[in-house]
Amino acid sequence: MDFVDRCEPACRAWIAEAIRKVEADANRSADTHLHVFPLPPEWGIDLYLKDESVHPTGSLKHRLARSLFLYALSNGWIREGTTVIEASSGSTAVSEAYFARLLGLPFVAVMPKTTSPEKIALIEFQGGSCHFTDDGSQIYAEAQRLAAETGGHYMDQFTYAERATDWRANNNIAASIFEQLLLEPHPEPSWIVVSAGTGGTAATIGRYVRYRKMQAKLCVVDPEGSAFYDSWVRGDPSVTAAGSRIEGIGRPRVEPSFLPTVIDRMIRVPDAASIAAMRWTSEVSGRSVGGSTGTNVWGALQLIQEMRGRGERGSVVTLICDGGERYAHTYYDDAWLETRGIDIAPHLAALRETLLT
């Protein structure tokens, strides 16, 4: 009788314990808040910000990192001693470094050298190490090369984000938003506005609203220099671009986790508008937010103005992706903006004017 037996009871026991640790970590955490953003009541439109900055590792990537670890552990891709390697613009790596440490695994982040020093410090604080490439388009091949060289596992968030997240479940970001809206005047929003890094958050929300038979529409906002917008407009997944200056969102290529068919509208957002909206959101809400949150809020306001123009009432939801402390030396630094020729003054003035009209 021929047979090959690959039973590894010790390895299975380690995986079971690792999954318990990840689930116990989630069990110790609370859900994130859905804040009301103060708009003039006479507009009849409510804007909500789902605050993903309050996760233990400070961004919406905490959810993704948890899902990616559970997916890789369940697939048998990660075992005791595996070096975990990730291509990231920073936030995912911070969260993955946290989970790698929880499981006692070495972690290496492969990132463009422009990544903010604050994010590098956070990865190192979580026990991860950082490896840099000259530009953002090189991170994928470099992560793959390092994984082959070390016998490690390349997590590959850009491929697996959309499938690692359980979009039907009651523990994802979409389910959480809709549950938190239940007692609001307009519990089914007219629009949900998100930006795309992997595209995973957009895929989860877009699928969920269809699955739950809702009419809420999904708008994806995309910064200058990203390939997603042109690709979506032209229906061409091979589009490439120079790369985005808004950390975490907008990609030089169309990522495999970007699901164009669940998106109802895309808006291209100038960087100066994203950064102005980031500062304005912090001013108005009293919460310091990051650059991609500015992109989100700018897009949400365009849709709100359109609804007002039609005399429509309703609600709009968007996300606080991470907090502003990660960008103190970049988007919150006027000298940094000036060196890059980014003039936020006209956008900031227009935003301040918005609430008065």
Question: In this structure, are residues 32 and 176 in contact, taking their beta carbons and an 8 Å threshold?
Answer: yes
- DSSP-derived secondary structure for 99-141: HHHHTT--EEEEEETTS-HHHHHHHHHTT-EEEEESSGGGHHH
Binding residues for ligand PLP, rule CB under 6 A, total: 21
Shortest Cβ 23–ligand PLP spacing (Å): 21
Figure out which of the listed residues 72, 100, 227, 249 binds ligand PLP, where binding follows CB under 6 A. 249
Figure out which of the listed residues 58, 136, 152, 200 binds ligand PLP, where binding follows CB under 6 A. 200
Mark residues 103-132: x for contact with ligand PLP by CB under 6 A, - for none: ------------------------------
Question: In this structure, are residues 298 and 269 in contact, taking their beta carbons and an 8 Å threshold?
Answer: yes
The answer for residues whose C-beta is within 8 angstroms of residue 231's C-beta and 6 or more apart is: 237, 238, 239, 254, 258, 260
CA 26 to chain centre: 18
Shortest Cβ 326–ligand PLP spacing (Å): 8
Mark residues 17-56: x for contact with ligand PLP by CB under 6 A, - for none: ----------------------------------------
In angstroms, the CA 84 to CA 217 distance is 36
Nearer to ligand PLP, 137 or 186 (CB): 137
Nearer to ligand PLP, 45 or 241 (CB): 241
Shortest Cβ 300–ligand PLP spacing (Å): 14
Question: In this structure, are residues 129 and 108 in contact, taking their beta carbons and an 8 Å threshold?
Answer: yes
Nearer to ligand PLP, 91 or 226 (CB): 91
Nearer to ligand PLP, 14 or 107 (CB): 107
Mark residues 292-331: x for contact with ligand PLP by CB under 6 A, - for none: x----------------------------xx---------
From residue 54, how far is each of 46, 197, 219, 287 by CA, in Å?
22, 19, 23, 11
In angstroms, the CA 227 to CA 199 distance is 12
In angstroms, the CA 130 to CA 113 distance is 10
Within 158-197, the residues that bind ligand PLP by CB under 6 A are 161, 195-197
Contact set with ligand PLP (CB under 6 A): 59-61, 89, 91-92, 161, 195-202, 248-249, 290, 292, 321-322
